[in-house]
Amino acid sequence: MSGEYVSGEWSDIACDHSPLTYSPLTTMAIKFFCKCGKKLKARDEMAGRRSMCPRCGSPVGIPAAGPTHGGNTLGPMSIKDRLQFWKTHLPSEALPKSLLPDEPTDSFSRDAQRSTQPDDSSTSSSEPAAKSPGKPPEKPPAYFDAPLDRALIRQVIRARRSVAQPQERRLERHWYECLLYPFRAWPLVFGLSGALALCAGLTALVHRQTQELTQGFSTVLIYGLWASVPLLILSYSFGFLDCVMAGGLAGEFRHVRWPGRKIGLAFKSCLTWAACFLFGPIVPIALALILWLQAGEMQIIDWLILGELVIVAFAYWILVLLTVHAKDGLRHSNPLRVTEMVGQLGWSVIGIALGAAGVALIHVLIAIAAFTDLQRSESWGWFALILCSWSGMFWATFLFRWLGVWCRWLDLTSPPRAISNR
């Protein structure tokens, strides 16, 4: 998994954008000469880097893309400059130990880079390599002759990769921007939901074989061992969704968080979800179950009432979860707090929760059909189950991100412990 995915422990991470980013629209715009006379060209984003001359093998510094005006802009960053930058702008844990600052560092930002005059100390080893492209320099810059510390370069590249982010990443400003979040977290969304579907399907298939087991301790043991696997996957799914919402609440946009190796965090999420279910949604769900079991032949009115109860239950569950996460504590799962939360977010949140619950109901119906088909040993059942699970996780991720970010916009989080210790 790429370095974008961070396990659930939260820490302060600089939110500045890296000046060293890739652009998909690259051209081989920089043309220059090696000291051996070879004509070379490089992509824009390579400006300020070092490379090797394919003819003579000596290190070459790639100049800036456009013509430089003496005294107005900085020259290309030398290795030393870049080290200096990363020391000051990266979290210490992201840097190799050898790069940790051992001296006071200066602030360094893109704006500063653009606007400030070069001083002697920062440009001493970063003279402009070429004043204009296509014209060989009369005298190679001093750093060309500096020994190339490859190990140091590798360390810098590794450190930069670990935090490299797309250039335009920022906290979502509109609800539809939250739709991108599940795509960012696609390995988790697809991985967890796929595992969940697989586990649920296998459990259903294995369960019908368990009638061969007589009731007793061994049966309980087998059930317990088997149940632990789906429970673990379910816990991680809940944990991931919790992290998604907590990330939104914290205004976090750089990383996609999940419980990682912290199984305890996943189980805690599972318990939170279960508790939130017991603090309200269980009533309409129990009523729906009684209605379905005892109604006899279902009339249209029965189906409507059943759908209404399930939608109400799901919607309320979503609101309780939101309140618990925003207010940071299960004690806020009472109806009073939920009503208060709805009041703060506006009544439209009820509409959103009902809509989401409707989508959830559709997924439940598809899952039931898939389970039924699965029991007939038809492959369509597996296909539908996995597809339904993927879709469900996608929309849940989107919803939880949206709700989290929404609270962030309105500053409804409980500041001291909103996410810092989750």
Partner 1 sequence: MKKPHIGWFLLIATLALAPAGFRMLTWRAPRHADVDSDMARAGQVLFNHKWEYKDALANGGDGLGPVYNDVSCKNCHNQGGVGGGGDLTHNVTTFIIQRKGEKKAREGVVHLDAVKGQPNEMLSDLHPDLPRSARIDLTRLTIIPGQHCNVIPFPEGIHISQRNTPALFGAKLIDEIPDRDIIANERKERLKWGLAPSDNEVAPVGRAHRLADGRIGRFGWKAQTASLSDFVQAACANELGLSNPGHPQPTPLGKPSYQQVGMDLTLDQCNQITAFVASLPRPKEADAGTAGHDGKKAFANIGCANCHTPDLGSVDGIYSDLLLHRMGQTLQGGGSYGQPPPEDPNSRPHDGPLADEWRTPPLWGVADSAPYMHDGRAKTLEEAVQFHGGQAASSAHLFAQLPPPKRVQLIGFLKSLRAPRQ
Q: Which residues are at the interface with partner 1 (CB under 8 A)?
A: 203-205, 207-209, 211-212, 214-216, 283-284, 287-288, 290-297, 301-302, 304-305, 308-309, 312, 335-336, 338-340, 342-344, 368, 371-372, 375-376
3-state secondary structure of 62: coil
Minimum distance from CB of 385 to partner 1 (Å)? Answer: 11
* CB-nearer residue toward partner 1: 51 or 203: 203
Tokens for 279, please give them: 């603090």
Cα–Cα distances (Å) from 182 to 321, 400, 413, in that order, read 19, 10, 22
CB of 139 or CB of 376, closer to partner 1: 376
User: What are the distances in angstroms from CA 379 to CA 5, 76, 230, 279, 374?
Assistant: 33, 59, 21, 38, 7
φ, ψ for residue 41 (rounded to 5)?
Answer: -140, 155
233 to 72, 98, 168, 200, 263: CA distances (angstroms): 57, 39, 33, 10, 10
Nearer to partner 1, 185 or 309 (CB): 309
C-alpha dihedral (221, 225, 226, 231), degrees to nearest 10: 130
C-beta closer to partner 1: residue 64 or 306: 306
In sequence order, the β-bridge partners of residue 51 are 60
Helices (H) and strands (E) in the chain, counts: 13, 6
Task: Give the residue with the Cβ less far from partner 1, 40 or 342.
Answer: 342
Q: Minimum CB separation from partner 1 for residue 328, in Å?
A: 19
Task: Find the radius of gyration of the CA atoms of the chain.
Answer: 29
Roughly what angle, to the nearest 10 degrees, separates helices 79-89 and 150-163?
Answer: 40
Whichever of 225 and 336 has its CB closer to partner 1, that residue is: 336
Residue 162 CB, shortest distance to partner 1, in Å, is 43
Q: Angle at CA 11, nearest 5°, toward 7 and 12? A: 135
In whole angstroms, how close is the CB of 350 to partner 1 at the nearest point?
Answer: 8
CB of 343 to partner 1, least distance (A): 4
Q: Cβ of residue 309: shortest distance to partner 1, in angstroms?
A: 6
* Helix (H/G/I), strand (E/B), else coil: 5: strand
Q: How far is the CB of 410 from partner 1 (least distance, A)?
A: 10
Of residues 25 and 301, the one with the C-beta less far from partner 1: 301
